[in-house]
Structure 1
Amino acid sequence: MTALVLTVFALVYLGMALGRLPGLQVDRTGIALLGAIALLLAGVMDDRALVAAVDFPTLFILLGLMVLSAQFELAGFYGWCADRVARARRSPEALLGLVVLTGGALSAVLANDVVVFAMTPLLCAGLAARGLDPRPYLIALAGAANAGSAATLIGNPQNILIGQVGGLGFWPFLAACGVPALLALGCVYVTVARVWRGRLVCPGGAGAPVAVPELDRWQLGKGALGTLALLALFATPLPHEQGVLAVAACMLVSRKLGSRRMLGLVDWHLLLLFASLFVVTRALADTGLPGQVVGDMAAAGLPLERLAVLAPLSLLASNSIGNVPAVALLMQVWPDPSDGALYALAVLSTLAGNLLLTGSMANLIVAERAAAVGVRLSFAEHARCGIPMTLSSTVLASLWLVGMGYVGV
């Protein structure tokens, strides 16, 4: 059975790296699901073991946050933010800073993937209407969404998983990871501003005016109240997943917004990806081999808690198999990591997603949503900014993590 588990695991994570099965229209979620099904049919896991492998509290937190983000989306808030940013009477450089601040702040509290999904089309259109080239601003939006999401337990899926499995508190996490996130936002702005210096204006001139969805202030107020309630609940002994689900339930009770519309904005594919990866990684962990490898590394003087190991591992894994699959695997095989090491994993794996266009889901969403409205963001254009912003932010984050005693060198 061990050989079968290793084979399934290798094929699944190879698929994570490639993005899809060669010659087939099977994406990462489909690949992970096929792996889980193969383990079930082969008898490696029975029904009960498969269900036990899934970390339902993590999935509940993701689901609840997606419902809360749907509340803001249907209120027109993301579109309103994109429009206000694009129409702000500021210089191109100041406007770039506004994009970074807005994308980073929203992604720290709401799911970063949802933020960039909603903001990208209107931001493209609004910037083009002002005669500005949307491409550098889109790179800044994606970079800021990743950097800002590193600050909190609810900023992105991998942080949610780390916090839930590690039993981390919301406010201690913010105290540890907030500063590196702010430093990373500065790196995003400085990098994009320098790389695109003198080229922020679109050669084709101003485009046509943009129609912006109307902002529903009542629904926006409901979403804001729900967010404040959620932050308050994080300061109580109530389990995180119960607090998030309670807020999500309140969002679903509405006389105007249909629950079908709200649930239609939930990323069910991501939830299924998580559940399938839990199964595949649990099967591998049960073989005992990953634990043995981690133990051998520690015996050789290379424990995962060391920054010299964790930083390059996060950078490599996040830009090959993806930060979500990488974190899901590590959390299964890493025995008793310290809180400081988990803070470092959350920050480093998230910032590593800025390196390449394929490094994070937020990057891909921005590129795909921009292409749908006629703005092409190439791999090379992103890499010219992504590589320096990632390396500089990783160095600054590492100095903070070591200086504050969260991890050793």
Structure 2
Amino acid sequence: MIGLDQYTVALVAGVILALALFVFTLGKSPVFRVDRAGAAIIGAAAMIACGVLSFEEAMQSVDFKTIVILFSMMIVVANLKIAGFFDLIGSAILRQISSKQSLLLSTIMVSGVMSALAINDVVCLLFTPVVLLVCRRGKCNPMPHLLAVAMASNIGSAATLLGNPQNILIGSLSGLSFASYFFTASPIALGGLLLTHGILSVLYRRELSGFISPEAEQHSVVIHGYLIAKTLLVLTAILAAYIAGFELALASSVGAAFLLITRRVNPNKVYASVDFNLLVIFIGLFIIVGGVEKSGLMGELMAFLPSSATEHRGLFAVLTVILSNIVSNVPAVLLLKFFVPVDHAEIWWKSLALFSTLAGNLTITGSVANLIVAEIAKRNNVAISAKEYLKAGLPLTVLTTGMALVWLTLFR
């Protein structure tokens, strides 16, 4: 292990983080044949090799519960895919929706509402394949609809303390009641979903004009009703257990294990549908962010901020948005929790939950949900570039954050 002083350790961690985020933003290295998964592996290895983290510390920085949840839900999604569930849902959507605009609105509302009730990462994992299938069969440009899944899932998840990991964390740290937070945040979430529709409709007006091709409805698929019913029953049980207070990692892993007990499905077909690249990305990101936290880099940067940055709501919003896009939402919350004032703490915790979640729409790397959509799209030969995402994400983040600021002033 290389011996480095604290300043050098922080500098090394910052360089590794910057290079990893650069590749994540572009989707691949402009020089080497390195994709997001490769950048995550290289960045994590560099953190250990340079002595920023020991191997044991790197392992401790990985949130294995999140990895277990994602892997388990991928098993569930794989069973639905094999059973023809996505084809069935796609056919149902195409029968009910005739225009591309109505498809966009339906995508936004379904993603938003589902993400308020369950973790938005899981919603993206389940819903993105459906949207891709509908767009392919409906002969639509999938880009605005994929952006709708990612952005609406972020905004919808802001409505409740169960919608995303950072809100779950804030609920635990602050003691906020579910109803109190929902009453404050739900109008912002609803307004944000409408803004999402408006912005995407303007930016992609050509792609969204016209009707869905009726030829898409003439598509025969093989549906395995028993497997669909079994998998949906397991998925319902997982969500019910989670809402009832059971650990989601435990509930999802038990559900996935139950689905693997079968005489009908070849397990290799299930494993082939698991996105191991995405799991690698998550593990690498956890280690990279863990290195940044251990190095003290963010503490050094925070020390240069004026005290007013965490006393004025507007400056606090800007700081939260920027920090959430540098180190991701959950680490940003862990850092900013120390700056929540004792007086009127409830409204500040609500502000932190809203701003850190809405920040996820700024860049393609601003939210794990965005990366999930981007990676699933990539596997289906649809590339969402950082520039393409920013085109809609920047105005949406500015408008929704501004709307939240105005709304929160009513709760002073």
Normalising by structure 2, report the TM-score: 0.74
Structure 2 residue 320 is matched with structure 1 residue 327: no
Structure 2 residue 60 is matched with structure 1 residue 17: no
Q: Does the 8 A contact of 1:281 with 1:329 survive in 2?
A: yes
Question: Any idea what the Cα deviations from partners look like across 1:356-405, whole Å, max 9, x if unmatched?
Answer: 66763256358646755xxx988777666444443333333444555457
**Which of residues 115, 137, 146 is equivalent to 1:126?**
137
Question: Any idea what the Cα deviations from partners look like across 1:141-160, whole Å, max 9, x if unmatched?
Answer: 443344345456776xxx33
Match of residue 6 from structure 1: 10
Matched AA of 1:280: I
Structure 2: unaligned runs, 5 residues or longer: none
Identity %: 27
Q: Does the 8 A contact of 1:358 with 1:364 survive in 2?
A: no
Number of corresponding residues: 390
Structure 2 residue 398 is matched with structure 1 residue 391: yes
Matched AA of 1:8: V
Q: Does the 8 A contact of 2:83 with 2:227 survive in 1?
A: yes
- Looking at structure 2, the residues matched to 242 and 293 of structure 1 have their Cα atoms a distance apart, in angstroms, of 38
Q: Does the 8 A contact of 1:104 with 1:144 survive in 2?
A: yes
- Looking at structure 2, the residues matched to 178 and 250 of structure 1 have their Cα atoms a distance apart, in angstroms, of 36
Query: Taking structure 1 as reference, are residues 342 and 279 closer, same or farther at Cα in structure 2, changes over 3 Å only?
Result: farther
Query: Taking structure 1 as reference, are residues 283 and 121 closer, same or farther at Cα in structure 2, changes over 3 Å only?
Result: closer
Query: Taking structure 1 as reference, are residues 89 and 65 closer, same or farther at Cα in structure 2, changes over 3 Å only?
Result: closer
Query: Taking structure 1 as reference, are residues 39 and 73 closer, same or farther at Cα in structure 2, changes over 3 Å only?
Result: same
SS at match of 2:328: helix
Q: Does the 8 A contact of 1:72 with 1:223 survive in 2?
A: yes
Query: Taking structure 1 as reference, are residues 326 and 404 closer, same or farther at Cα in structure 2, changes over 3 Å only?
Result: same
- Looking at structure 2, the residues matched to 340 and 68 of structure 1 have their Cα atoms a distance apart, in angstroms, of 38
Structure 1: unaligned runs, 5 residues or longer: none
- Looking at structure 2, the residues matched to 71 and 177 of structure 1 have their Cα atoms a distance apart, in angstroms, of 35
Q: Does the 8 A contact of 2:13 with 2:47 survive in 1?
A: no
What aligned pairs does 1:192-271 form with structure 2 within 5 A after superposition?
A: 192-194=200-202, 200-201=208-209, 211=219, 213-271=221-279
The offset of 1:307, in angstroms, is 4.1
**Which of residues 102, 107, 124 is equivalent to 2:110?**
102
The offset of 1:344, in angstroms, is 4.7
Match of residue 312 from structure 1: 318
The offset of 1:14, in angstroms, is 1.8
Matched AA of 1:255: R
Normalising by structure 1, report the TM-score: 0.75
Match of residue 57 from structure 1: 65
**Which of residues 297, 307, 330 is equivalent to 1:300?**
307
Question: Any idea what the Cα deviations from partners look like across 1:179-204, whole Å, max 9, x if unmatched?
Answer: 54333222222333455568733599
Q: Does the 8 A contact of 1:294 with 1:333 survive in 2?
A: no
Give the alignment's Cα RMSD to 1 decimal. 4.1
- Looking at structure 1, the residues matched to 347 and 227 of structure 2 have their Cα atoms a distance apart, in angstroms, of 38
Question: Any idea what the Cα deviations from partners look like across 1:60-102, whole Å, max 9, x if unmatched?
Answer: 2333333333333333333333332233254554443223223
The offset of 1:24, in angstroms, is 0.8
Query: Taking structure 1 as reference, are residues 49 and 120 closer, same or farther at Cα in structure 2, changes over 3 Å only?
Result: same
- Looking at structure 2, the residues matched to 106 and 74 of structure 1 have their Cα atoms a distance apart, in angstroms, of 23
